[in-house]
Amino acid sequence: MSLVNSAERLSSNKILPVWKKIRASGKNYFLNQGLPTRHDEDWKYTSVSLLKEANFEFHALKSKSVKELSTLAKAWLDKNFEQVIFVDGVLNKELSTYQQSQAVEILELQEVMASREKSGFLAQFQAARQQTGIIRQDSFEALNSAYAFSGVIVRAKKNQAADKPLQILFLQTQASVAVYPKIFVIAETGSKLTLLETYAGILASINGAEKSFTNSVTEVIVEPNARLDYLRVQSEALSDVNIGTTRIYLKEFSHLQSLSYTTGAALSRHNLDIHCLGLQATAHVDGLYLVSGSQHTDHHTWIDHVVGQCQTTQTYKGILDQSSRAVFNGKVVIHKDAQKASSEQVNHNLLLSQEAEADSKPELQIYADDVKATHGSTVGQLNAEELFYMLSRAIPRDQAVEMLSLGFVNDLVEKVNHQKVREFLREHLRKAYFRTKTKEVKP
């Protein structure tokens, strides 16, 4: 396959045997399984056939100056955040602003791959995986394991609270580039961290045939009494493909506030797996997507209650215009010994055109008898009475539609705890809305 062939030039001579084993295992899995098709249950509503014949480079053909990048990426650079910035898959230390601190330690993935001492953290993730019993297997995650060379390891230190949100920003500036980010996060006992994992395309090719490909994997451990606010922001160029997997392990009394925010890419998919491994862990999992043209976005969540007395909620909302399509599949599994678990799940979709389509599939697998689990899903259009009321108050129709549409998802932005992050998201959401109203999107 071209995805594999284009990656064969990646050198692995300077990495430890454990990482070589991870790469070999991922490559073998991908070669055996291949790209998923719509015959696979998890990919029933989403086709990735456009990747079969695509050819990608591992690095941009030519680099841009820091001054040029700063101008192009201005909308995504925020002085209120500590920032780790990758450009076309390569860490740009001149643009990055992060500082090692008493609260947060950041290591580059390539550096860790070559250090036996720094790779010791892998044992923690291996142990967490064994506690779950079941890990969702995926060809794209295997492909990432085979060819990941950019990424970071983030450690929020014990009983420390980070002063600023940390943004790990991946900028795509050129077409036909494939990147495979891999991120590991450990929120140690009693720590507090706000983390933004951001994917942005700053040279959008609206009608171009060329595309870039981002295939990311993020694994997170939230240790006892730690709090993590995690946001995955996807706003890539409207010709690109973005496939991502996030897997989070929650220990006892840990707390997760999560938001998956999607406005970019011609084709995007985010798998979010959350494993409740410790008593009284809580997770509030939200998703916000705004798509138009022929954009296709897919969110698959898996909330896994391994032990009892854990509370999880899911609220996913989407705005769809023109001929766009959104898929939501939310699976909740409550194991036999997970008594007194509580899980709520809702998915609401607002269609702004007759051609838009939303597919929603909630799933509950309950093997315990003392639990609380609910789910719901709606697909509808703007409330005619609310629209009429605003028009009767001399508000122009376009403005009224904007206010009602953005108001539909604004509650998810308001749930974000950090004020500067809320302001950041609101600004980009408004820009994304106006973009969808003025440009046709084609893969």
pLDDT for 315 equals 97
Beta bridge partners of 157: none
CA distances 251 to 280, 317, 343, Å, are 8, 28, 17
The answer on pLDDT for 66 being more than 80 is no
Name the band, by pLDDT with cuts 50, 70 and 90, for residue 206: very low
Beta bridge partners of 91: 86
Contacts of 410 (CB under 8 A, 6+ apart): 426
Name the band, by pLDDT with cuts 50, 70 and 90, for residue 207: very low
Count CB neighbours of 185 within 10 A. 23
CA 17 – CA 23 distance, rounded (Å): 10
Q: Note the Cα 310 to chain centre separation in Å.
A: 23
Name the band, by pLDDT with cuts 50, 70 and 90, for residue 442: very low
Burial of 77 (C-beta count, 10 Å sphere; 0-12/13-18/19+) = middle
From the list 273, 230, 29, 58, the residue with the least C-alpha distance to 145 is 29
CA 96 – CA 91 distance, rounded (Å): 8
Greatest CA span in the chain, whole angstroms? 69
Does residue 302 contact residue 328 with C-beta atoms inside 8 Å? no
From the list 162, 201, 300, 328, the residue with the least C-alpha distance to 244 is 300
- Strands of the sheet containing 282-291, edge to edge, are 90-91, 82-87, 166-172, 192-201, 227-235, 255-262, 282-291, 311-320, 342-351, 372-380
Rounded mean pLDDT, 263-275: 97
CA 420 – CA 63 distance, rounded (Å): 31
Contacts of 218 (CB under 8 A, 6+ apart): 181, 182, 183, 184, 185, 197, 232, 244, 245, 246, 247
Helix (H, G, I), strand (E, B) or coil at 100: coil
Count CB neighbours of 199 within 10 A. 27
Q: First vs last Cα of the chain: how many Å apart?
A: 20
From the list 281, 217, 218, 284, the residue with the least C-alpha distance to 253 is 281
Name the band, by pLDDT with cuts 50, 70 and 90, for residue 79: very high
Helix (H, G, I), strand (E, B) or coil at 186: strand
pLDDT tens per residue, range 334-389? 999 999 999 999 999 999 999 999 999 999 999 999 999 999 999 998 888 888 88
- At 318, which amino acid appears? G
Name the band, by pLDDT with cuts 50, 70 and 90, for residue 290: very high
E strand spans, 292-441: 296-305, 311-320, 325-334, 342-351, 357-366, 372-380
pLDDT for 62 equals 61
Rounded mean pLDDT, 411-433: 94
pLDDT tens per residue, range 305-326? 999 999 999 999 999 999 999 9
pLDDT for 70 equals 80
Beta bridge partners of 85: 169
What is the Cα gyration radius of the chain? 21
- At 220, which amino acid appears? V
CA 94 – CA 104 distance, rounded (Å): 20
Which residue is listed with tokens 């070999």? 24
192 conformational bin, left if phi > 0, alpha if psi -120 to 50, beta if neither: beta
Count CB neighbours of 393 within 10 A. 8
pLDDT for 106 equals 96
Which residue is listed with tokens 């709606």? 378
pLDDT for 440 equals 45
pLDDT for 420 equals 95
Helix (H, G, I), strand (E, B) or coil at 373: strand
From the list 282, 241, 242, the residue with the least C-alpha distance to 260 is 242
Which residue is listed with tokens 């998956």? 260
